[in-house]
Structure 1
Amino acid sequence: MKKTVFITGASRGFGKIWAEAFLKRGDNVVATARDIRSLESLQQEFGDAVLPLKLDVTDRQESFAAIQKAKDYFGQIDVVINNAGYGLFGAIEEATEQEARDQIEANVFGLLWVTQAALPIMRAQGHGHIIQLSSVLGVATLPVLGLYNASKFAVEGLSETLAKEVGEFGIHVTLVEPNGFSTDWAGPSAIHSARIEAYDDVKAAFQAGLTEDSFGIPEATAGAILKLVDSENPPLRLFLGKVALPWVQQVYASRLSTWEEWADVAAEAHGK
């Protein structure tokens, strides 16, 4: 059955790959980007099946207007993919106030505004699927990406709560948690804080831990996303890539061990 899919950040990377995958199989796509010229190739190839919209997701009013335009054009919105966002690289001490605020604005508030705009339409329809692009770094952390980690942890908490609130309306929520992929996320799309020399060793160790096998092929994710939106009972969380799950299993085993070690202290703090 043909779906109407609203995708933010569709000009490149995962957003563009997934938009093309939906369009090639016959779905309708609302493709958004800050610069609408970056969406011209999609419209030229797929015509009326794609609605390109200029959208800065950090603008709440603009986000609501874009969702309404999508509804008016296609009549419904079956899937929203909140893909827009970027990475801020640098130690936590290095981040300026503006860099920190901008990171949270784009990755958290931008996702929130689009989600809020879509919910009334999906509730009225009695169905919908909101897919939030989180990250494995929303479950476990790496150094040199502290503000990005924080933004994705916020997305995780917001979206897990949302799933509990909207399930009775026929609305599914899925957090997609990729490990590293060879997109331009760490290249032109990234922001880098000014260097503080004291963190050079931490950064060097971070870089040394990255190998070619750490990064997946972006185009290979399209099949997983199509299966996800076609599922009648989609998961709350879906890892993408081979690295994420084994790493998180190790992280959680360590956490559980520490929590159990301190269980008596935790129980004493209950007071009764």
Structure 2
Amino acid sequence: MSAPVWFITGTSHGFGLLLSLQALHAGQKVIGTVRNKQHSLDAVQSIEQAGGNVIELDMTEPRDSIIEKVRTAEKIYGRIDFLINNAGYSTLGPIEFFTEDDASHQFRTNVFGPLFTIQAVLPGMRARRLGTIVNISSVAGQDALASCGLYAGSKFGLEGLSEALAKEVGSLGISVLIVEPGAFRTNFWKASVLRNVPAGEGYEGTPVDTVLNKFRGSAGKQPGDPEKAVDIIFQVVTGQGAAGHLKGQILRLPLGEDAVSRIEKKVQSVKIDIELYRKLATSTDFSN
């Protein structure tokens, strides 16, 4: 069997670049994407010198444009085995002050773009009854913090899309994986867009202020090692290595101690809520 083909969005840095290089060094084939090759010249050269291909793709492009570019890329090797929706960014600040453009750009990048790349690869995967779709979400896709309303909203949306997709295509031989990283030492925070809070609006000293200050102070000090995370993603996707047994067996892959801890607390909080309102909730059905 020929080497599998990866299509990875957002390969200019971070997880996307590292995963591209790991797959190439393993003898597999990679088509990566960047928004602008000139602005990401070092990453493009690294991928191409390792034997990969890079195309320009902006996840905010119209649906037809994204689908056309993905399907054109698919013709390079005749198929796409692994779609990795990695491209994304965060807009941070209190929900009160986000603009329509803030919201539109956040959701087009983190939800609509992945939706369209998925739509582009599904016909080929269905025809072969084989394929893997990986959507890089975040711990914020399970647990929303103050100041992360737009970002978490987009990742919650991506996770809902992924859950439904897994149920739709599982019987067709296609697996879906949601990756939920915590804080990893990439340039993600530096690439985030901060919506400034107008002075005197009452958010000083609130959880919004606390979380934003924590983010500012953590840049370059995040506990997560991106190379270790990418290694685990590679193993789960390919079925190789210590984590290979998880291939096709899990829907969610939290990464980082902070991610696991936050998700565990969120699950416990939901359980507590259910127990508190169980009788009231079940009382709303029609009586037999």
TM-score tier, shorter chain, comes to over 0.9
CA displacement, residues 220-270 of structure 1 (integer Å, 9 cap, x when unaligned): 212101111122424111011111112211121122112111111111222
Match of 2:235 in 1: 227
Identity among equivalent positions (%) equals 35
Match of 1:135 in 2: 138
| Residue pairs, 1:99-248, within 5 angstroms | 99-187=102-190, 189-197=191-199, 198-201=202-205, 202-207=207-212, 215-231=223-239, 232-248=247-263
Cα RMSD (Å): 1.8
Match of 2:267 in 1: 252
Alignment partner of 2:272: what SS?
helix
Shift of 1:113: 0.5
Letter in 1 for 2:49: E
Match of 2:243 in 1: none
* Structure 2 gap ranges (5+): 240-246
1:41 maps to which of 38, 45, 48: 45
CA distance in structure 2 between the aligned counterparts of 1:44 and 1:237, rounded to whole angstroms: 31
CA distance in structure 2 between the aligned counterparts of 1:52 and 1:207, rounded to whole angstroms: 34
Match of 2:285 in 1: 270
CA displacement, residues 2-24 of structure 1 (integer Å, 9 cap, x when unaligned): 21000001111111111111111
Alignment partner of 2:54: what SS?
strand
Shift of 1:207: 4.7
CA distance in structure 2 between the aligned counterparts of 1:42 and 1:68, rounded to whole angstroms: 24
Alignment partner of 2:257: what SS?
coil
CA distance in structure 1 between the aligned counterparts of 2:204 and 2:6, rounded to whole angstroms: 43
CA distance in structure 2 between the aligned counterparts of 1:207 and 1:68, rounded to whole angstroms: 40
Q: What TM-score do you get using the length of structure 2 for normalisation?
A: 0.88
CA distance in structure 1 between the aligned counterparts of 2:92 and 2:33, rounded to whole angstroms: 25
CA distance in structure 1 between the aligned counterparts of 2:229 and 2:47, rounded to whole angstroms: 22
Match of 1:52 in 2: 54
Match of 2:244 in 1: none
Are 1:58 and 1:113, in contact at CA under 8 Å, matched by a contact in 2? no
Residue range with higher mean Cα deviation, 95-104 or 30-39: 30-39
Shift of 1:214: 5.5
Are 1:51 and 1:70, in contact at CA under 8 Å, matched by a contact in 2? no
Q: What TM-score do you get using the length of structure 1 for normalisation?
A: 0.93
* Structure 1 gap ranges (5+): none
